[in-house]
Structure 1
Amino acid sequence: MNMQKMLNGFIIIFLIINMGLFLFLHQREVTRYTLSNERILQLESILEKNDIYLLDHLPDFYPKSKLRVSMPTDMEKELVEAFFQNEEARFTISANAHTHETSKERLTFDQVNEKGRVFYGSSEPTFITKNLLGHEKSKTAHDFVKAMTLGKGKYELTDQRDGDDFSIYYYNERFLGELIFSNETIVRIEEEGVTEARAIRYVPQGFVSNPFELFPADEALYKFMSYIRAFEDTTLTITDLDLGYAMGKSALENVIWMEIEPYYRIKLSTGQTYFINAYTNEIYRP
């Protein structure tokens, strides 16, 4: 009986030690890949001295693997059928694109610059009726994203820009917890409905290779500050800073798949967007 009690006691002590070790290692990992308050305050101070203001949080920078994606799937036939159904559409071929057009709507499929990108245009706003509330417009934009992508991939709203009589919604796909900046659908909604949209989706296949260390978010912002202040001296406001996967250069022709890398995406209040490679800390402007 005493031996059983001793054994149970040893088991409990063993579990407590292992739990404590796990919590210690987890906290050390969090501390290693999360900026301290001191570093954040120092960053904000230096940015403000250079007339740059940060309105968003700083993402963690845990090591990440590369993401393998294949070229966009040809959805021309399916999209034309889904949007126009039985309505007769005029089909034209140019040097760069295929266009299907009815009296009110138009779908254009890029064949050269970004093969797989789809453009939608409407001479008469569609999909919503006049004077919907903001949250209803947001839902309509989300529904339109599903229509443009044929329901493939899980998209989430990552930005919204509002004008006097229109709103532009920016969506990115999230794959296994990671944003894919290269998979983007943009929808413009005016007072009476959807007037424009564009979309492209590279097909995610999975993560490859061992995770690589990333540059911390503050070092990426210092890089951005040095870059932008070389030619721009006006006050700048960073409204969004996030971490995801992006195509650092144009997709190559006649390839089946590519490996894309993690990037910090910096969005300014002016609408300008900059990318910084999280592996190399090199800046990229599409």
Structure 2
Amino acid sequence: MQVLQNRLQLKDFRLIRAIYETGQLAIAAERMSLTQPAASRMLASIERLVGMTLFVRHPKGMTATPAGEILARNAAGLLNGLEQTLQEVTAVTSGKSGSVRVGSVTGGAVAFVVPAIQKLKANAGSADIYVDVAPSDVLIQGLIDGEYDFVLSRLPPGTDSRQFNILTGRVEIIRFLVREGHPLAGEKKLRLGDLSDYEWLMQAPRTPLRHAIEEAFLSQGLPSPQETVNTTSLLVMISYLTTSDAIAPITQEVVELLGPKVFGGRVAALDVADSVVVTPYHLISRKHQLMSPLATRLRELVFAGLATGRHRE
């Protein structure tokens, strides 16, 4: 048995399977691009290794012996498994299979990660793709820990940028959502001061969006919103908005995703004259990181979307 494991080769199994399927040595030889004498010599060599006859020759062709049946049956499994293995390897190396994990801030996930995944899935249907949406400090730590292939994130203060590859930059424009029928809904050219006395739904202190809001109020000599509920959950925000007079600052990309018909039109964006933007987020990966072909393809698609988005601004 050890001799067979060491000496029977894939071409031997292919010949056995070809003879079994065709019943003709000449046709099997043609299938393998061999001359009939060469195929006959190969079969004789295989039978010597096995120590028994594998095919009985008769005027109408060749019929497998019990030993030939066993080898032919297992040859099919072996060759099919090899073919499947090669297909999977090809898919992985071409970026059509495998897994990739991405982290992103909310606006980046909505505007660029989701469209990139949809394009990737067009010819990589078996790919496993994981997307986490989180604040930048969580994303960057996850990237450092190897949890993500790349992230769309800001660099938190004190982060050493030299350990990363950083591509492009994109600011987020803030819009202000309220429930339908809110006292300010429908008003034109509101100022920040008109919003300050209402309850606010915001991200936690020291997050970029929260900082942008506080800086905007400060630049106009206004106190920051005092009555706040802190949440990063979009579902919590919508639920709270539709049952209160709270105001929620949210990025333009998410507002466009929600659209006027989402949630039965129960939320609306205020017309605020003051422009508030958040510091840019970037496409970030670790230096010297070995990225899979699938992750590389997805990162390229995200980057292409960012570049297109900049041209439209």
The TM-score, its normalising length taken from structure 2, stands at: 0.24
Greater share of helix residues, 1 or 2? 2
Q: Which has the larger radius of gyration?
A: 2
Q: Which structure's residues are more often strand, by fraction? A: 1
Using structure 1 for the length normalisation, give the TM-score: 0.26
